[in-house]
């Protein structure tokens, strides 16, 4: 599947040039915006892999839009685009977690590699985020099971091993995870 891109740039000629370069390189342009507000709305609808975001735009600038998009996880990643090579903009963009910062004028030989790298880094970040969420979920399940064992130990006088065996047996009989059985036990003993 072709990566999906939103272009947020207030200069229509630049926006069209970017769209043409990216389309010819095999990317799918799923939306174009002339201001930060519209960029956010398009991202809410399209959930693109990448947003190419101009810094200076009317209504809402690119940094404000980026903060919203990243905060709501509306896009995989963002490349900032600007005519300003200002350290303050670079620092703000970096703090917001953008994947790159391109200075105008943009040429195909700089745009395409930046897009490829940003998309690759986004895939890696997504992978690590998924792994972290998986570990966090398992940890929460483990805590829930431990609390349920405590309830069973208090209520029924089980040892820790007996409580664990009870949870495991009920889980197998009901064909349900031990975490789900533990949640039910905790809810019924509040």
Q: Which two tokens stand for residue 19?
A: 């769209």
Is 49 in contact with 74 (CB distance < 8 Å)? Answer: no
Question: What CA–CA distance (Å, rounded) separates 145 from 183?
Answer: 8
Q: Say whether both 140 and 89 belong to one domain.
A: no
SS3 of residue 33 by DSSP: strand
What total of structural domains would you count in the chain?
2
Same domain as 168, residue 75: no
CATH number of the domain at 57, please.
3.40.50.2300
No. of helices (H) and no. of strands (E), the chain? 7, 5
What pLDDT does residue 161 have? Answer: 92
pLDDT > 70 in the chain, percent: 99
Is residue 127, in this structure, part of any structural domain at all? no
Q: State the pLDDT at residue 17.
A: 94
The region of weakest confidence among 14-18, 44-48, 72-76, 125-129 is: 125-129
Residue 90's pLDDT is 80
- Do 11 and 89 share a domain, yes or no? yes
Per the domain annotation, does 126 fall within a domain? Answer: no
Give residue-wise pLDDT tens across range 141-162. 999 999 999 999 999 999 999 9
CA distance 36 to 149: 51
Long-range Cβ pairs for the range 158-163 (8 Å, 24+): none
The reply to whether 71 falls in a domain is yes
Structural domain boundaries, residue 183: 134-188
* Same domain (yes/no): 85, 49: yes
Measuring CA to CA, which residue among 60, 40, 37 is closest to residue 51? Answer: 40
Residue whose C-alpha is closest to residue 21's, from 102, 134, 106 = 106
Over residues 52-65, the pLDDT tens digits come to 999 989 889 999 99
Beta carbons within 10 angstroms of residue 93's beta carbon: 22
Q: What is the pTM of this model?
A: 0.74
Judge contact between 80 and 106, C-beta under 8 A.
no
Judge whether 161 lies within some domain: yes
In this structure, the chain runs to a length of 190
Q: What is the mean pLDDT of residues 62-88?
A: 89
> In this predicted structure, what is the pLDDT of residue 103?
87
Helices 12-24 and 108-156: crossing angle, nearest 10°?
80
Q: Is residue 121 part of a domain?
A: no
User: Tell me, what's the pLDDT at 49?
Assistant: 95
93/140 same-domain check: no
């Amino acid at each position: 599947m072709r990566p999906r891109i939103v272009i947020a740039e207030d200069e229509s000629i630049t926006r069209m040039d970017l769209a043409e370069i990216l389309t010819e390189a095999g990317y799918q342009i799923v939306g174009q915006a002339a201001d930060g507000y519209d960029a956010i709305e398009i991202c809410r609808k399209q959930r693109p892999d990448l947003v190419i975001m101009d810094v200076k735009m009317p209504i809402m600038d690119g940094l404000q839009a980026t903060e919203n998009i990243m905060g709501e996880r509306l896009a995989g990643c963002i490349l900032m685009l600007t005519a300003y090579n200002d350290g303050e903009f670079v620092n703000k963009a970096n703090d917001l977690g953008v994947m790159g910062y391109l200075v105008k004028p943009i040429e195909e030989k700089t745009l395409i590699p930046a897009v490829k790298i940003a998309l690759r880094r986004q895939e890696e970040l997504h992978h690590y985020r998924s792994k972290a969420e998986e570990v966090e979920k398992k940890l929460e399940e483990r805590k829930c099971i431990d609390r349920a064992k405590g309830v069973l130990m208090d209520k029924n006088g089980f040892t820790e091993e007996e409580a664990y065996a009870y949870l495991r047996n009920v889980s197998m009989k009901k064909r349900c995870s031990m975490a789900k059985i533990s949640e039910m036990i905790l809810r019924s003993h509040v």
